[in-house]
């Protein structure tokens, strides 16, 4: 997946645990784990909005694009 | 009794009614071959009017092979009905079972159509036979339609499974 999720990094910067974030955002820990592990196929705007609000950050702080990953997958 | 249970019971009934044919057919043919003068079994197959000839044996074997294809299709359908009953509609197993059902039914129908075509060709005596109502031909054509429908269903289930996976992995 060429989209990288930097949620772990942002959480560590905010000294917040995944459980806390899941509670604030209103999603299950299992779903948050799917997002963090990069297994998610899509993210709802409402979820992204809630995460950004909880972590006081921009979507770009959480999501990043890496062309090398997509190249490796193509191989 | 809901529709899934009714469907499963119907298939179970058809399946268990066909088991004796699968089990006893080869034995019956063997018995007739070993004892050609027997009077217990009245064979109702073409080319067996004047004793059990090689042509009749060939016909029986062809019929049995095609019947086995149909039976295999019904077995797969029975497994599919079981999965429906367990509410596992969107799984790889359902895709696999419907594809196998479709393949077996299609092969059986196509084979049987060729088989009855060849049979009609060999037994042609200058007269054309016309059947009004439901004939073997229309039933086989229907089986072919059902077979192809199951292949399409398998494809539809595969797409549905992919959509479900995407939906499950949407946060």
Q: What is the mean pLDDT of residues B116-132?
A: 74
User: Shortest Cα distance from A45 to chain B (angstroms)?
Assistant: 10
What is the spatial distance between Cα A47 and Cα A25, in angstroms, rounded to a whole number? 7
Using the Cβ of B164 and the Cβ atoms of chain A, whether some distance falls under 8 Å is answered with no
In degrees and rounded to multiples of 5, residue B130 shows phi and psi of -115, 125
Q: What is the mean pLDDT of residues B86-115?
A: 94
Residue of B nearest to A36 (CA): B171
Fold (CATH) for A3-74: 434 Repressor (Amino-terminal Domain) (1.10.260)
User: Shortest Cα distance from B168 to chain A (angstroms)?
Assistant: 9
In this model, does residue B102 exceed pLDDT 60?
yes
Residue of A nearest to B170 (CA): A42
B170 to A44: CB separation less than 8 angstroms, yes or no: yes
What is the spatial distance between Cα B169 and Cα A35, in angstroms, rounded to a whole number? 8
Give the count of domains, chain B.
1
What is the spatial distance between Cα B64 and Cα B18, in angstroms, rounded to a whole number? 12
Contacts of A41 in chain B (CB under 8 A): 165-166, 169-170
pLDDT digits (tens, 9 = 90+) for A15-51: 899 999 999 999 999 999 999 988 899 999 999 999 9
Contacts of B165 in chain A (CB under 8 A): 41
DSSP state of B46: T
Contacts of B171 in chain A (CB under 8 A): 27, 31-32, 34-35, 40, 42-44, 47
Quote the pLDDT of residue B49.
64
Is residue B137 classed as helix, strand or coil in its secondary structure?
helix
Write the CA distances from B134 to B3, B116, B141, B147, integer angstroms.
27, 15, 11, 19
Residue numbers of the domain that contains B68: 3-168
State what percent of residues in chain B have pLDDT above 90.
50
Contacts of A33 in chain B (CB under 8 A): none
Q: What is the mean pLDDT of residues B49-61?
A: 73
Look over chain A and give the mean of its residue pLDDT values, rounded to a whole number. Answer: 87
Work out the end-to-end distance of chain B between its first and last CA atoms, rounded to an integer number of angstroms. Answer: 38
* Cβ atoms B75, B108 nearer than 8 A: no
In this model, does residue B32 exceed pLDDT 80?
no
What interface predicted TM-score (ipTM) does this complex get? 0.72
Quote the pLDDT of residue B51.
64
């Amino acid at each position: 997946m060429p989209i990288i999720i930097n949620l772990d990094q942002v959480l560590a910067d905010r000294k917040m645990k995944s459980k806390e974030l899941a509670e604030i955002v209103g999603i299950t820990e299992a779903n948050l784990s799917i997002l963090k592990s990069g297994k998610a196929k899509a993210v709802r705007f409402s979820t992204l909005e809630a995460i950004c609000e909880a972590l006081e950050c921009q979507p770009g702080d959480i999501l990043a694009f890496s062309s090398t990953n997509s190249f490796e997958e193509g191989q | 009794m809901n529709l899934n249970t009714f469907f499963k019971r119907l298939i179970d009934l058809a399946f268990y009614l066909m088991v004796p044919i699968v089990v006893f057919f080869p034995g019956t043919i063997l018995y007739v071959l070993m004892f050609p003068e027997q009077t217990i079994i009245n064979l109702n197959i073409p080319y067996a009017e004047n004793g059990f000839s090689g042509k009749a044996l060939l016909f029986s074997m062809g019929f049995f092979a095609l019947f086995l294809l149909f039976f295999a299709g019904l077995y797969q359908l029975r497994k599919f009905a079981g999965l429906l009953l367990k509410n596992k509609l969107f799984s790889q197993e359902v895709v696999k079972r419907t594809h196998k059902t479709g393949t077996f039914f299609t092969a059986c129908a196509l084979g049987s159509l060729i088989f009855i075509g060849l049979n009609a060709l060999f037994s042609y005596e200058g007269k054309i036979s016309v059947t009004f109502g439901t004939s073997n031909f229309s039933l086989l054509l229907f089986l072919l339609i059902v077979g192809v429908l199951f292949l399409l269903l398998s494809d539809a289930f595969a797409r549905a499974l992919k959509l479900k996976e995407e939906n499950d992995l949407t946060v």
